Structure 1
Amino acid sequence: MTKRGIWIGAAIAIAVVVVVIVAYLVWPREAPAAQPAPTPSPAATATPTPTPTPSGPPANDTAYDQGDLPIDDVFLVDAALPVDDDPTGEILPLTASPRDAAGAPVFADPSGEPIAWLPQEQTYGGTDLPVVEMHESWVKVLLAGRQARAGEGDASQVVGWLRVSDAVLTPNDVVVEVDLDAHAIDIVTGDGSDQSRERIADDFAWGTEATPTPVGRTFVMHTEVVPSLAYTRGHPIVYLGAQSSTLAGFDGQDVAVTAFHYHDVRSGAISNGCIRVDADVTSRLAELPVGTPVVIS
């Protein structure tokens, strides 16, 4: 090839390269597919802490002192004291006692004003009480005392209400069960599958038809040895919160309290309402704390 031919070939090659480059730069190209915009994550919403819904009667935050309120004890007779309206009902595994050394007000119902005053301690007990109903602000308890004397009205077991804020609540899962028909006394501990039953008596004496042993739920009010009561032979008497339905008083006293006690004659319906048992039974019952529920059926 001549020198001139070489230059012409080179020029043509350069021209082709230029055309290719220009075409690449100006040729329309497909735009890249649009990417979908990310969906924003919903803002995290904090779960509010639930406010507990108050249960039962509303709280009463009024400050009270004893003032003219009568002391609730075994001697109290007051028409304002409610008789237990469910004597075969539930008993919770709790006892209640006044939190403050000065004592606590007792209410006939949570919507009213106090009807009595419960000291923290008193001579014949009655300040450690079984709980039979519980709400957020209130507990219903068995009480000592009577609405009326026998022969003048209903002398059955009485109840009342304490504010939870006024009470010390103590676990107690022990119940004494007395079956008058089966002539059996059991100490029952626990509940459900964890329940244990200890038979402590399979014979005893109870009240006559004229002076029956009160039936229903009551509690151990006070335990004491009383040497002057010779028939007990020096064994402890376990006094209960229930009183006679037919005797206004007994043995010169203005009370007719039901009790477990020793007696040489102790079988059948022969007593003035008390439950006569042997020495071993009185000793076993005397080991129970005051406030222990007793159910007589």
Structure 2
Amino acid sequence: MGDAETDGPAADALAAPDAQPTAPAPAGRPWRVWLLAALAAVIVAGGLAAAWLLQPPVTEASAPPSPSPTRTATAEPSPTPTPTPTPTPTGFPANSAGYDVTTLPQVNVFAVIPGLAVDDAAFTAPLPLRAVALGVGAPVWADPTAQPVAYLPHEYPYDGTAVPVVEEQEHWVKVLLTGRQAVPSQGNPAQVAGWLRKSDVELAPNDATVVVSISGRTIDIVRGGVAERVATDFAWGTDRTPTPMGRAFIMTTRVVPEYGYTRGYPIVYLSTQSPTMDGFGGADVAVAAFHYHDDRSGPISNGCLRVDPTAITKLAELPLGTPVIVNP
């Protein structure tokens, strides 16, 4: 910023601080030195101001964030499990005793067993189930808290071993049976019933019920609540030999050529017997049945239900154990 003459002594002084002092500078030059010093001070001050202006202002955003409070996780209370209730046994208690059924009276169409109970709900529709005894046969109880009074065979020449269920419990089923408690001359010959252990039988669905109305002169086969009308006129028992009323079931179905009045159509035998006759036609039984007959209108039979060819054909197609309810 100066010339060589001004800078020369100053440079020497820096290089050789121990050198001898030179003569004082001329009197007219000090203002220039002060000017340079002032300019330098201004430059330094300006640089500091610029550096201060270039710093970013301290704001909330640039300030270090305060630490957020730590959130302590609160454990959700576990629901108390509801204990599964123990099922309450329904009906009669279980019976696991063993029995020699061959020592008991056999339930069949010819049997008269005083220990059997008469059906106590004659016009109540059975359940849609039928039972068949396992093994040789199943013990039958009139009272499941007592001893068995008979046994239902697994097979029998005259059938009657597939029986409808009228009540179901946890360990037991109540069923309709063939045979009688007594003959009419000695007691009550109505439809009988008994209890079987579930462990002694095989259960299967019953999908149809036959419903007869004497006063309405109709016979229907009912499946799933839908009725199929199979007869609108038929014959039934006289006042002296009435048709058994109430619920029963199809015991067996067979063609009997010797009975010419059937014209070769099958006879559908029921589990009920005459309420007034101990026997019929020389036999010890008086079984009610559906069958064909040329005379088939009104109260003219010995207790059977006489129907036309179409009706007997459809009735004969039903499985054994199918319930039948005969209404007045």
| TM-score, length basis structure 1 | 0.84
What residue ranges of structure 1 are gaps of 5+ in the alignment?
A: 1-31
**2:110 maps to 1:75:** yes
- Offset, 1:228: 1.0
Q: 1:284 to 1:34 in 2, by over 3 A?
A: closer
Distance in 2, Cα, partners of 1:39 & 1:234: 87
For residue 25 of structure 2, what is the aligned residue in structure 1?
none
For residue 19 of structure 2, what is the aligned residue in structure 1?
none
Percent identity of the aligned residues? 56
For residue 156 of structure 1, what is the aligned residue in structure 2?
190
| Helix, strand or coil at the partner of 1:60 | coil
Residue identity opposite 1:243 in structure 2: Q
Residue identity opposite 1:51 in structure 2: T
Distance in 2, Cα, partners of 1:39 & 1:211: 86
For residue 93 of structure 2, what is the aligned residue in structure 1?
58
For residue 219 of structure 1, what is the aligned residue in structure 2?
249
- 1:137 aligned to 171, 176, 187, which one? 171
What residue ranges of structure 2 are gaps of 5+ in the alignment?
A: 1-66
For residue 102 of structure 1, what is the aligned residue in structure 2?
136
For residue 266 of structure 1, what is the aligned residue in structure 2?
296
Distance in 2, Cα, partners of 1:286 & 1:293: 13
Residue identity opposite 1:89 in structure 2: T
Distance in 2, Cα, partners of 1:200 & 1:281: 5
Distance in 1, Cα, partners of 2:125 & 2:93: 22
Residue deviations 1:177-216, cap 9 Å, x none? 01000111000101xxxx2111100111000000000110
Max radius of gyration: which structure?
A: 2
Q: Which stretch of structure 1 is more off in the superposition, 174-183 or 59-68?
A: 59-68
Distance in 2, Cα, partners of 1:248 & 1:263: 23
| Helix, strand or coil at the partner of 1:124 | coil
- 1:253 aligned to 263, 267, 283, which one? 283
Please list, as runs of the form range in 1=range in 2, the aligned pairs for 1:1-297 lying within 5 A after superposition. Answer: 40-43=75-78, 45-98=80-133, 100-190=134-224, 195-297=225-327
| TM-score, length basis structure 2 | 0.76
How many residue pairs get matched? 264
| Helix, strand or coil at the partner of 1:283 | helix
- Offset, 1:269: 0.3
User: RMSD between aligned alpha carbons?
Assistant: 2.1
| Helix, strand or coil at the partner of 1:108 | coil
